[in-house]
């Protein structure tokens, strides 16, 4: 029983250690994700800074108008993040599937590739955000 | 005047690496080193026929294929495909080239039909279902696999779909990078038959990289033996066996391979040039 527990604990540490090695190998990506997190947090601050125009600082605070304002802001940011994420994943998808060399060998311009991905991202983002 | 399918003059390609020394912290890298994959390579391949490239792992075969497929840029020299430069006229080259690699490169969740339609669009062809079915059936794939996810197909079937995709885009130059590696004997034979069928159907030039010496002897009119980024021998399988077969009285391409690549082992250390 003790032996089994020791094995499980060893395996648990093994998983954690493997993740640490992977994150160390791709440490540059951490800079990218940090930037993304900062922009996400700032977007909330940006929405809050607009509350002043709705009278949040004064006495005439309109709750419904504020709710609508925040809702539209969150939806817009959600839509933009989806579009940016899909466009950023254009290459990541190809790498995961192992098709990147095949796509790059096709007789199409890189811009066409990116615009095609963006076209889908814009429509997909609308479909996800509108309902 | 007929242009050669492939015309390579003095192509050199090296990869710069900053490798970490054993035990060093992960952010510390050693001074960069150049690993030379191709040494001033000269090569001409006439249109039509199958040319085999044999050589051990790391001999430069795949680098050569990637340069011809416009995926890599040579450090020096020129490479032309049907007269078009692979660097300055990459789009024209890509219109006439397709590749079948060791790993069937597909979106594995999509079906053969969805992958083929995608390929057809990229190459400016109409993805007509009847044509796709005809090609797949011609390669011996049962009709019911066309709408199954690629991941449910065997490796042999996936490789056949890869070949079918290249048929669909009608390339003039087909780059085959170890297309039968890892396949069982039956699947290997089917892929080889598919290649011979393609040759019989239309004018196509095939560059076949393989580790399978019997495959090269059976399919190729001309064989290049490469090692360390250099062509060590060039000729028909019979010529190579006659001139480089070693002491064996009835040499095979395997004898040629062992004979030629064995000689170069001592010089392998020279491949890495510190810069």
Q: What is the pLDDT of residues B81-108, one digit of tens each?
A: 999 999 999 999 999 999 998 888 898 8
Question: By the 8 A CB rule, do B228 and B273 touch?
Answer: no
Can you spell out the DSSP letters for B198-227? HHHHS--EEEEEES-HHHHHHH-SEEEEEE
B69 touches chain A (CB under 8 A): yes
Query: Among the three residues A29, A61, A93, which one is the final residue of a domain in this structure?
Result: A61
Alpha-carbon span B267 to A103, nearest angstrom: 37
Question: By the 8 A CB rule, do B167 and B135 touch?
Answer: yes
What are the domain boundaries of chain B?
Answer: 6-105+172-274
A103 touches chain B (CB under 8 A): yes
Instruction: State the CB neighbour count (10 A cutoff) for residue B185.
Output: 8
Give the pLDDT confidence score for residue B27 in this predicted structure: 67
Do A46 and A66 reside in the same domain of the chain?
A: no
Query: Among the three residues A18, A36, A61, which one is the final residue of a domain in this structure?
Result: A61
Residues of A within 8 A of B101 (CB-CB) are: 101
- Interface contact flag, B105 A98, Cβ < 8 Å: yes
Q: Across the strands, what pairs with B11?
A: B41
B25 touches chain A (CB under 8 A): no
What was the ipTM of the complex prediction? 0.80
Instruction: State the CB neighbour count (10 A cutoff) for residue B229.
Output: 24
Mean pLDDT of A24-46: 83
Do A25 and A72 reside in the same domain of the chain?
A: no
Q: Pseudo-torsion of CA A92, A98, A100, A102, nearest 10°?
A: -160
pLDDT exceeds 50 at position B246: yes
Confidence of residue B1 (pLDDT cuts 50, 70, 90): low
Alpha-carbon span B79 to B5, nearest angstrom: 11
What is the distance in angstroms between the Cα of A51 and the nearest Cα belonging to chain B? 45
Helix/strand/coil for A4: helix
Confidence of residue B150 (pLDDT cuts 50, 70, 90): very high
B123 touches chain A (CB under 8 A): yes
Give the pLDDT confidence score for residue B61 in this predicted structure: 92
Do A75 and A50 reside in the same domain of the chain?
A: no
pLDDT exceeds 60 at position B268: no
Do A51 and A105 reside in the same domain of the chain?
A: no
Question: By the 8 A CB rule, do B200 and B48 touch?
Answer: no
pTM: 0.80
pLDDT exceeds 70 at position A109: yes
Give the pLDDT confidence score for residue B254 in this predicted structure: 85
For residue B205, is it left (φ>0), alpha (ψ between -120 and 50) or beta?
A: beta
If you count DSSP H runs as helices and E runs as strands, how many of each does chain A have, helices first?
5, 0
Residues of B within 8 A of A25 (CB-CB) are: 26
- Which A positions 16-75 lie with beta carbon below 8 A of chain B? 24-25, 27
Q: What is the pLDDT of residues B63-86, one digit of tens each?
A: 999 999 999 999 999 999 999 999
- A–B CB contacts, 8 A cutoff, strictly below: 44
- Which B positions 135-164 lie with beta carbon below 8 A of chain A? none
Q: Which residues, 6+ apart, have CB-to-CB distance to B192 below 8 Å?
A: B180, B215, B218, B219
Do A124 and A66 reside in the same domain of the chain?
A: yes
What the block records as the tokens of B231 is 């062509």
Q: Which of A54-68, A80-94, B21-35 has the highest mean pLDDT?
A: A80-94
Do A29 and A70 reside in the same domain of the chain?
A: no
Mean pLDDT of B230-240: 90
Do A69 and A129 reside in the same domain of the chain?
A: yes
Q: Which residue is closest to B151 within chain A, CA to CA?
A: A97
Do A56 and A117 reside in the same domain of the chain?
A: no
Alpha-carbon span A93 to A104, nearest angstrom: 13
CATH topology of domain B6-105+172-274: Rossmann fold (3.40.50)
Taking alpha carbons only, the member of B45, B41, B21, B46 closest to residue B31 is B21
Pairing assessment for the beta strands B97-100 and B272-274 based on DSSP bridges: unpaired
For chain A, the average pLDDT equals 83
Question: By the 8 A CB rule, do B158 and B104 touch?
Answer: yes
Do A53 and A66 reside in the same domain of the chain?
A: no
Confidence of residue B127 (pLDDT cuts 50, 70, 90): low
Burial of A31 (0-12, 13-18, 19+ CB in 10 A): exposed
Q: With DSSP H G I counted as helix, E B as strand and the rest as coil, what are the percentages for chain A, rounded to 5?
A: 85, 0, 15
- Interface contact flag, A105 B95, Cβ < 8 Å: no
In percent, how much of chain B has pLDDT > 90?
37
Ranking A15-24, B106-115, B120-129 by mean pLDDT, the lowest is: B120-129
What is the distance in angstroms between the Cα of B217 and the nearest Cα belonging to chain A? 28
Do A131 and A67 reside in the same domain of the chain?
A: yes
Tally of domains within chain A: 2
Alpha-carbon span B144 to A62, nearest angstrom: 62
Do A57 and A77 reside in the same domain of the chain?
A: no
Do A66 and A55 reside in the same domain of the chain?
A: no
User: Which range marks the domain in which residue A112 is found?
Assistant: 62-131
Confidence of residue A59 (pLDDT cuts 50, 70, 90): low
Mean pLDDT of B228-244: 88
What is the distance in angstroms between the Cα of A25 and the nearest Cα belonging to chain B? 8
Q: Pseudo-torsion of CA B215, B218, B222, B223, nearest 10°?
A: 30
């Amino acid at each position: 029983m003790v032996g089994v527990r020791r094995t499980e604990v060893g395996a648990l540490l093994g998983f954690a250690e493997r993740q640490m090695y992977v994150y160390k190998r791709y440490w540059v990506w951490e800079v990218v994700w940090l930037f993304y997190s900062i922009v996400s947090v700032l977007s909330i601050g940006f929405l809050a800074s607009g509350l002043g125009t709705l009278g949040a600082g004064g006495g005439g605070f309109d709750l419904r108008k504020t709710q609508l304002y925040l809702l539209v802001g969150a939806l817009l940011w959600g839509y933009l993040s989806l579009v940016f994420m899909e466009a950023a994943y254009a290459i990541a998808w190809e790498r995961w599937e192992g098709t990147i060399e095949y796509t790059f060998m096709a007789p199409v311009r890189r811009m066409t590739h990116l615009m095609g991905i963006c076209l889908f991202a814009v429509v997909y983002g609308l479909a996800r955000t509108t309902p | 005047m007929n242009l050669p399918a492939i015309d390579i003059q003095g192509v050199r390609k090296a990869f710069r690496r900053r490798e970490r020394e054993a035990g060093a912290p992960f952010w510390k890298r050693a001074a960069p080193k150049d690993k030379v994959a191709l040494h001033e390579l000269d090569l001409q391949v006439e249109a039509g026929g199958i040319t085999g490239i044999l050589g051990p792992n790391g001999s430069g075969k795949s680098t050569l294929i990637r340069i011809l497929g416009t995926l890599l840029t040579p450090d020096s020299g020129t490479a032309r495909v049907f007269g078009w430069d692979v660097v300055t006229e990459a789009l024209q080259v890509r219109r006439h080239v397709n590749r079948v690699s060791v790993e069937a490169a597909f979106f594995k969740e999509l079906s053969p039909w969805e992958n083929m339609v995608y390929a057809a669009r990229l190459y400016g062809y109409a993805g007509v279902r009847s044509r796709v079915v005809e090609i797949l059936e011609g390669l011996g794939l049962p009709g019911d696999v066309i709408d199954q996810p690629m991941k449910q197909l065997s490796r042999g079937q996936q490789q056949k779909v890869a070949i079918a995709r290249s048929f669909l885009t009608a390339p003039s130059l087909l780059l085959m990078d170890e297309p039968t590696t890892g396949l069982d004997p039956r699947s290997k034979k089917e892929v080889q038959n598919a290649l011979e069928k393609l040759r019989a159907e239309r004018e196509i030039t095939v560059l076949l990289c393989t580790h399978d010496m019997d495959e090269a002897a059976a399919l190729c009119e001309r064989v290049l033996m490469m090692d360390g980024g250099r062509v060590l021998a060039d000729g028909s399988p019979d010529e190579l066996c006659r001139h480089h077969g070693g002491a064996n009285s009835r040499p095979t391409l395997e004898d040629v391979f062992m004979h030629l690549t064995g000689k170069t082992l001592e010089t392998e250390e020279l491949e890495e040039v510190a810069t």
